Structure 1
Amino acid sequence: MIEGGCHCGAVRIEVEEAPTAVTDCNCSICRRLGGLWFYPHPRQVRIEGEAATVAYVQGDRTLALHHCQACGCTTHWRSLEAGGGERMGVNARMFDPQVVAAARVRRLDGADTWAYLDD
């Protein structure tokens, strides 16, 4: 079990297992947010204080990116697609630095090809 949260502590996240890999995406939103994403099954994640978040839904309206209303940290995203309840992303930057240091960082070309650049 790993535990983390936003800067002010209003949003707390628990995930059953630490990620072995995280994704550094260069799409128009991720490159601005600076998050490192991992994708546990939603049943493996407990979010305390999600009501303290605001969701931003961008252009293609497939994801709701949640950030803390108080400190602004982007904590996670949820799928808005039909049947997408099995998909979510958690920002690994909400956890202690050693969590990210222990994970492989994968670079995803979300701006163009949707291929991993390190394959």
Structure 2
Amino acid sequence: MTIAYSKPTPQKLLSNRQIKAVIALAEGMTQAAATKFAGTSPQTVTAWMQDPTFQARLENEIYSRSMDDLAFHKHLRRKALRVVTDGLDSPNPSQRMWAAKEVLARIPADPEEEEAALNRAICESVMETERP
């Protein structure tokens, strides 16, 4: 099975006016009210509504307001896990390396392995001090 990967696109940032419009719309204001709140024209807000980045931010804002903090954090963890998983499966070696480092940095070490490494280090330091 062949998996097609798309190039990662840089995250486009929204302007302050776009963020104001997102907040207004997420709070349930009409598009006309959001236009006034953001200080822009109705045509501009209509154009923003067609922008995938604006749409994603609006959906995320609405979603985050519809759940409690615990549920929202679970949602964000799932999203982050998908990003890391995609990175591990990427054909790009640097992306795979980044994802692997992120995973390893967050997985707790095996307690038995950690204890064995600590015991070895103690034994080695004791042996070094006993040498003439």
Q: Please tell me the TM-score bracket, short chain as reference.
A: under 0.3
TM-score (norm 1): 0.24
**The structure with more strand, counted as a fraction of residues:** 1
**The structure with more helix, counted as a fraction of residues:** 2
Highest relative contact order (Cα 8 Å, sep 6+), 1 or 2?
Answer: 1
TM-score (norm 2): 0.22
